[in-house]
Amino acid sequence: MSETKQYVLTGDAVLSSALAGGKGAALARLAATFPVPAFFVISADAFNKDGLKTFAAAAVLQGVLQLGGSNLFAVRSSGLEEDGAASAHAGQFATELNITGEDVAAAAHRVWLSGFTDTLAQYRRAHGLSGEPQPPAVIVQVMVKARAAGVAFSADPVTGDRNVVVISAIAGLADKLVGGEEDGDSYRVALDGTTIEAELIGEVSVLTDAERAAVAAMARQAEAHFGSPQDIEWAFDDGGLNMLQSRPITTLGSIVQAAFQDDDVVIWDNSNIVESYPGVTSPLTFSFARYVYSHVYQAFSRLMGVRDENVEEHRAVFENMLGRVDGRIYYNLLNWYRALALFPGFKANRAFMENMMGVSEALPQEMADRIAQPSTSGWERFADNLKFARVGCGLIWHEVRIRRTIAQFYERLNEALARPDAEIDGMSAVALAAEYRLLERRLLAKWDAPLVNDFLCMIAFGAAQKALGKWAGDDGLAFLSSMLIGQGDIVSAEPARMIRAMGAIVRGRTDVIDRLRAGDRTAVHDLPRLGAAFDAYIAKFGDRCTQELKLESRTLHEDATQVLMAIAAAADTRKEAAEAEQAQDLHLLIPGFGQRVIARWLLQWAKARVRDRENLRFERTRLFGRVRRIFVALGARFTEAGVLDDRRDVFNLTVDELLGAVEGASLTNDLRSLARQRERELRDQMARPDPPERFSVRGAHITGVAGLEAQASSTGEGGEIRKGLACCKGVVVAKVRVIDDPRVEALSPGEILVARHTDPGWIAVFANAAGVIAERGSLLSHSAIVAREMGVPCVVSLKGVTQWLKTGDTVRLDGGAGTVERMAAGTTEKAG
């Protein structure tokens, strides 16, 4: 008799998963709390390849009789690892339904044999499960005479949302629904039992509202019972709702995400910052940029009249203005709004400040209202405007003092960067850390001139744009663009002029040109004038490389190939770039004397601030160049000491990790392994497509951004004529060259540059451009400013242009209308 008992399990014996398998043990636990149809379990060792063993056959027959021999039965598997949290083994074992009492033994044997299939072995290998597959125990359970049945998930198995129960229901038994042979009704039920969403297959719902609420309650109760989100099978018969089985939801990625979720939404946007930090950015650059943004904008808030205690209270906001999404730098848009909301007068002047931020899309009204409730009364609006007026007075004071502020800034900068580069390269690790701390104190904590001028620039340009657009329409806006051309003291355009001059020096020397085109740096010294001009260029602009704000970028000091290629291209017989159209006279555009005086003043103000903005950004390049040199030198010291494999491994570490290794605050001494791990992560990030320009996530960042690579970004409108943002008037018909990396690609004279975006490191390419088309940018972006300075037609913010146009396509670029037309093959190139 004792031998019989070990083959057929009932009561407490079923609680042992080692004997009854995972599904059987779970069913026994359910039976203590839920209405579960009667069942027993046949242990796996009750079988051999021929069928049930002798004692087992008698025990099974007795068990069937005890359940009611005239009933129909469901015969299911219960493997040791079946319905586990890591792998459900769904569909890998056989299930047989509507089995008569006399056929139970044969059906149970067939289910047991399903544990030996090749399909099961392949499943286990695919899921990384070790060991040979073991045959399952077998559950024999009374069939429910279901009028409706289905499955329910106590959390959304796709999004991981634990505030909703997802139910699928079908009339009758659920076997065809579970097997995917038929579709059922779908319901989403909230925590309070109300139906959020219902998708019906037929005209009549399978479940009533009350039945949906009952199933949802059962699913949540199962989750509470087992301690994790559950996937349950259920059925309604004449007696009510029955629980058939429950197992963990195995889409753990989504459920882990749900565990972190809450109602907080984070909006990530890189429409503005991508010009400074395109593509994957190293940990060192991100940690440095994050520090800079935090401290600089805390200082700016104080300049704007925000009290010290208010700034300190919101320090976490300032420290998280930037985020890193799959290696790319993004703005945390809500934190930018939270910072702006501290400024006096934000409530009454939100739209104006949003425009100053330059994001591609304003924050939804309801989100902005949660950050700062709008003024509701006339008195409140008056008080807000009064505060804003005070800020305006402060800005007027800053405008009056701006030249002095800039001069003092240059003085501090030159003093802080006075140490020769060669001396930096030879410093000890301790001295390098001290040098970096010095820059923090002297410059990063006092970055007033660029901040104030940038803000004044946005106000001046915005005011001029609004006034001329209102008084003279599109012609007024074109006039504004044309007035920004030809400011010879903008440093951003100087490299292009120097490259053209060097091209003229070498013109006609094909032997030297060929060597320059091949990247041979020694060729510049074959001609003394060229050598002197080249050395002067590198001395001044050596840190102005492509993606210059990314510390990992190689500077022209290290690799001047792009400049050499640009000189070679400029040495060719040059096609003149399209001349910008002559601007109309302001008297004709704005007849009114008073309006004309205001417009002229606004134009001069905007020109001055744009000029200083570009020139101060060059000083930022110098600072970043010094920081880059400090950390590369620190990498060299660590490599010499055997701490790192290569000096450039520092870019895979953060500022705190590097300085901590010098100053004694490091959390690990194994920087080599950390750098190697980060290098692997960077390679993986570079292999994935960029996330969308703007997206939102809920809850914890680490889980909220999963799967972003699947979100395809828009590539713009179709057709042969597309419209972007007009930046510099002029019309040119020419071939385009799509350039991804100006370090290895050059533009031939007379070609139109097409790029996703540009930064000051692209200036060598601009030297030969007949026009510029950029996928991203604004009227104040680098592409627009340099194009206006050089007088070539320019259109920016033309979505998807790098996919639409191919190198060699001929286009008609109208920089005044903002249009690009792809021409038929064979169209003659011309400028106009």
> How many C-beta atoms lie closer than 10 Å to residue 628's C-beta?
26
Hunting for tokens 């191919």 — which residue is that?
A: 806
CA–CA distances in Å: residue 810 to residues 581, 704, 722, 735, 753? 21, 43, 14, 4, 12
Q: Which one-letter amino acid corresponds to residue 583?
A: A
Q: What is the C-alpha to C-alpha distance for residues 109 and 75, in angstroms, rounded to an integer?
A: 10
Contact 776, 270 (CB under 8 A): no
- Compute the radius of gyration of the chain from its Cα atoms: 35
H helices of 697-776, in order, are 701-704, 763-766
Instruction: Please give the backbone phi and psi of residue 164, each rounded to the nearest 5 degrees, phi first.
Output: -140, 145
Q: Could you tell me which residues are beta bridge partners of residue 169?
A: 150, 185
Mean pLDDT (the chain) is: 83
Q: What is the C-alpha to C-alpha distance for residues 665 and 681, in angstroms, rounded to an integer?
A: 25
Contact 821, 812 (CB under 8 A): yes
Q: What is the C-alpha to C-alpha distance for residues 437 and 544, in angstroms, rounded to an integer?
A: 23
Hunting for tokens 């039920």 — which residue is that?
A: 189
Q: Which one-letter amino acid corresponds to residue 716?
A: G
Task: Please tell me the predicted confidence (pLDDT) of residue 119.
Answer: 67
Spatial neighbors of 798 by CB under 8 A, at least 6 apart, are 716, 722, 723, 724, 725, 773, 774, 775, 820
H helices of 79-134, in order, are 104-113, 118-126
Instruction: Please give the backbone phi and psi of residue 12, each rounded to the nearest 5 degrees, phi first.
Output: -65, -25
CA dihedral for 219, 222, 224, 229, sign (positive or negative):
negative
494-530 confidence digits (pLDDT tens): 888 899 899 999 999 999 999 998 999 999 999 999 9
**pLDDT at residue 316 is higher than 90:** yes
Half-sphere CA count of 623, side-chain side, radius 13 A: 25
Instruction: Out of 308-312, 480-484, 683-687, pick the least confident.
Output: 480-484
Task: Please tell me the predicted confidence (pLDDT) of residue 228.
Answer: 84
201-256 confidence digits (pLDDT tens): 888 999 999 999 999 999 999 999 888 888 899 999 999 999 998 888 765 444 44
Report the C-alpha dihedral over residues 556, 560, 566, 567, rounded to 10 degrees.
110
Q: For 659, which DSSP code?
A: H
Q: What is the C-alpha to C-alpha distance for residues 359 and 332, in angstroms, rounded to an integer?
A: 11
Q: What is the C-alpha to C-alpha distance for residues 154 and 229, in angstroms, rounded to an integer?
A: 6
**pLDDT at residue 367 is higher than 90:** no
Task: Using a pLDDT cut of 70, give the percent of the chain over it.
Answer: 82
Task: Please tell me the predicted confidence (pLDDT) of residue 726.
Answer: 81
Task: Please tell me the predicted confidence (pLDDT) of residue 646.
Answer: 96
521-566 confidence digits (pLDDT tens): 999 999 999 999 999 999 999 888 888 899 999 999 988 988 998 8
Contact 410, 619 (CB under 8 A): yes
177-202 confidence digits (pLDDT tens): 766 567 789 999 999 999 999 989 88
36-56 confidence digits (pLDDT tens): 999 999 999 999 988 999 889
Instruction: Out of 243-247, 569-573, 600-604, pick the least confident.
Output: 569-573
Instruction: Out of 249-258, 445-454, 637-646, 700-709, pick the least confident.
Output: 249-258
Task: Using a pLDDT cut of 90, give the percent of the chain over it.
Answer: 43
Q: What is the C-alpha to C-alpha distance for residues 249 and 228, in angstroms, rounded to an integer?
A: 8
Report the C-alpha dihedral over residues 181, 187, 190, 193, rounded to 10 degrees.
-110
The secondary structure element, H or E, covering residue 511 is: helix 510-517
Task: Please tell me the predicted confidence (pLDDT) of residue 376.
Answer: 62
Q: Could you tell me which residues are beta bridge partners of residue 247?
A: 231
CA dihedral for 223, 226, 229, 232, sign (positive or negative):
negative
Task: Please tell me the predicted confidence (pLDDT) of residue 462.
Answer: 83
**Token pair of 84 as six digits:** 């586990």
Q: What is the C-alpha to C-alpha distance for residues 810 and 828, in angstroms, rounded to an integer?
A: 9
Half-sphere CA count of 102, side-chain side, radius 13 A: 0
Q: Could you tell me which residues are beta bridge partners of residue 240?
A: 237
CA–CA distances in Å: residue 693 to residues 71, 504, 512, 724? 61, 42, 44, 17
Q: What is the C-alpha to C-alpha distance for residues 826 and 305, in angstroms, rounded to an integer?
A: 61
Q: What is the C-alpha to C-alpha distance for residues 498 and 767, in angstroms, rounded to an integer?
A: 9
Q: Could you tell me which residues are beta bridge partners of residue 690?
A: none
Would you tell me the crossing angle of helices 655-663 and 283-303 to the nearest 10 degrees? 100
Listed ranges 241-250, 333-342, 386-395, 502-511; the one with the highest mean pLDDT: 502-511
Q: What 3-state class would DSSP assign to 631? A: helix
Would you tell me the crossing angle of helices 429-442 and 593-640 to the nearest 10 degrees? 160
Spatial neighbors of 393 by CB under 8 A, at least 6 apart, are none
797 — pLDDT class (breaks 50, 70, 90): confident
Q: What 3-state class would DSSP assign to 716? A: coil
Contact 310, 273 (CB under 8 A): no
Task: Please tell me the predicted confidence (pLDDT) of residue 806.
Answer: 93
Contact 140, 131 (CB under 8 A): no
Task: Please tell me the predicted confidence (pLDDT) of residue 709.
Answer: 47
> How many C-beta atoms lie closer than 10 Å to residue 510's C-beta?
10
At CA 103, angle to CA 98 and CA 105, rounded to 5?
Answer: 115
Task: Please tell me the predicted confidence (pLDDT) of residue 753.
Answer: 94
Give me the mean pLDDT over the 296-317 stretch: 89
708 — pLDDT class (breaks 50, 70, 90): low
Q: What is the C-alpha to C-alpha distance for residues 784 and 81, in angstroms, rounded to an integer?
A: 63
H helices of 227-349, in order, are 252-260, 283-303, 308-313, 315-319, 333-340
Q: What is the C-alpha to C-alpha distance for residues 321 and 338, in angstroms, rounded to an integer?
A: 10
The secondary structure element, H or E, covering residue 464 is: helix 448-483
Q: What 3-state class would DSSP assign to 166? A: strand
Q: Give the residue among 178, 176, 215 at the shortest CA–CA distance from 195.
A: 215
272 — pLDDT class (breaks 50, 70, 90): confident
Contact 599, 460 (CB under 8 A): no
575 — pLDDT class (breaks 50, 70, 90): very low
Q: What 3-state class would DSSP assign to 544? A: coil
In Å, how far from its chain's centre is CA 525? 46
Contact 731, 770 (CB under 8 A): no
Task: Please tell me the predicted confidence (pLDDT) of residue 617.
Answer: 87
11-23 confidence digits (pLDDT tens): 888 888 888 888 8
More confident residue, 134 or 122: 134
Give me the mean pLDDT over the 592-607 stretch: 91
87 — pLDDT class (breaks 50, 70, 90): very low
578 — pLDDT class (breaks 50, 70, 90): very low
345-356 confidence digits (pLDDT tens): 665 556 655 555
**pLDDT at residue 136 is higher than 60:** yes
611-642 confidence digits (pLDDT tens): 898 889 888 889 999 999 999 999 999 999 99
Give me the mean pLDDT over the 787-800 stretch: 81
Task: Please tell me the predicted confidence (pLDDT) of residue 690.
Answer: 85
Listed ranges 252-256, 395-399, 483-487, 582-586; the one with the highest mean pLDDT: 395-399
Contact 169, 150 (CB under 8 A): yes
Q: What is the C-alpha to C-alpha distance for residues 316 and 294, in angstroms, rounded to an integer?
A: 9
799 — pLDDT class (breaks 50, 70, 90): confident
Give the pairing type, strands 769-774 and 751-755: parallel
The secondary structure element, H or E, covering residue 77 is: strand 73-78
Task: Please tell me the predicted confidence (pLDDT) of residue 355.
Answer: 57
CA–CA distances in Å: residue 516 to residues 540, 560, 760? 20, 10, 22
In Å, how far from its chain's centre is CA 507? 46
Task: Please tell me the predicted confidence (pLDDT) of residue 101.
Answer: 92
Q: What 3-state class would DSSP assign to 187? A: strand
Write the DSSP assignment of 551-611 as a string of letters. Answer: TTSPPTTT--HHHHHHHHHHHS-PPPPPPPPPPPPHHHH---HHHHHHHHHHHHHHHHHHH
Is-above-0.95 flag for pTM?
no
Q: Give the residue among 388, 385, 393, 391 at the shortest CA–CA distance from 305.
A: 391
Task: Please tell me the predicted confidence (pLDDT) of residue 562.
Answer: 86
